[in-house]
Amino acid sequence: MQKIAETMFDAVYLISVITIGILMIRGSKGDRQFRLFGWMAVVLGAGDSFHLVPRALALCTTGLENYTFSLGVGKWITSVTMTIFYVLLYYVWRQRYKISGRGGVTAAVYGLAGVRIALCMMPQNRWFSVEAPLSWGIYRNIPFALLGLVVLVLFYRSAREQGDTAFRWMWLTIVLSFGFYIPVVLWADTLPLIGMLMIPKTCAYVWAILIGYFAMKQECR
């Protein structure tokens, strides 16, 4: 039952976000914020596919234990592409609210993203091992969480100050995504059911993508 439900959910998710991303790239009509948003959605879906497709194959064939290498590569790639996702979202914020300057904030975003990616590249992560160390899972997610915090604060303040109803809940999608993700990082190895929180975490990202898509439909007529 799990393999059918999870595989179907992942397939719908990947097809949906990549399709929406392509539609946004093609339908942005020269509006850079929505073209960026489209690429952001494609990066999200394409990156997650490196992990979710091998996972689906494993569930539907010989089991996760026989796909350790493929799943490790997928997690590694997804960790990097999710970081790029937030950097792109930062630039969506700059474009949408016509932000200029703010060199310190830009440096913080790139600094946190760079540290996160560098930590993901460390062999101590043991991506291809069944028993990856929890400590390195925490280390590499500290700058990632801080990056998410920076972006959500920026969207929260700007949407509130400018009365942007279309993006008023963008900050909440980030809060929810990390709220569901952090327990998985900390406890999924000891309490496998905690891994189910990846479903609402994924739904939070879909919500974020839909916010951008519906905003484009309203503003790019």
pLDDT on residue 150: 97
Cα separation of 25 and 215, whole Å?
13
Lowest mean pLDDT, pick from 147-156, 186-195, 211-220:
186-195
User: What is the DSSP secondary structure assignment for residue 131, as one 8-state letter?
Assistant: S
Decide if pLDDT at 1 tops 70. Answer: no
Inter-residue contact 16 to 8 (CB < 8 Å) = no
Decide if pLDDT at 219 tops 70. Answer: yes
Task: Give the model's confidence band at 132: pLDDT under 50 very low, under 70 low, under 90 confident, else very high.
Answer: confident
Domains contained in the chain, number = 1
**What average pLDDT is seen over the chain?**
92
The whole-number average pLDDT for the span 7-27 is: 93
Decide if pLDDT at 168 tops 90. Answer: yes
Cα separation of 27 and 21, whole Å?
10
* Domain boundaries, position 84: 2-219
b/e code 185-196 from CB counts within 10 Å (16+ = b): beebeeeeebee
Decide if pLDDT at 2 tops 90. Answer: no
Question: What count of Cα atoms within 13 Å lies in the side-chain half-sphere of residue 53?
Answer: 13
pLDDT on residue 101: 87
Task: Give the model's confidence band at 59: pLDDT under 50 very low, under 70 low, under 90 confident, else very high.
Answer: confident
Cα separation of 118 and 112, whole Å?
10
Cα separation of 157 and 36, whole Å?
21
Task: Output the furthest CA–CA distance in the chain (Å, rounded).
Answer: 53
CATH, residue 161: 1.20.1070
pLDDT in tens, 69-119: 898 899 999 999 999 999 999 999 999 999 998 899 999 999 999 999 999
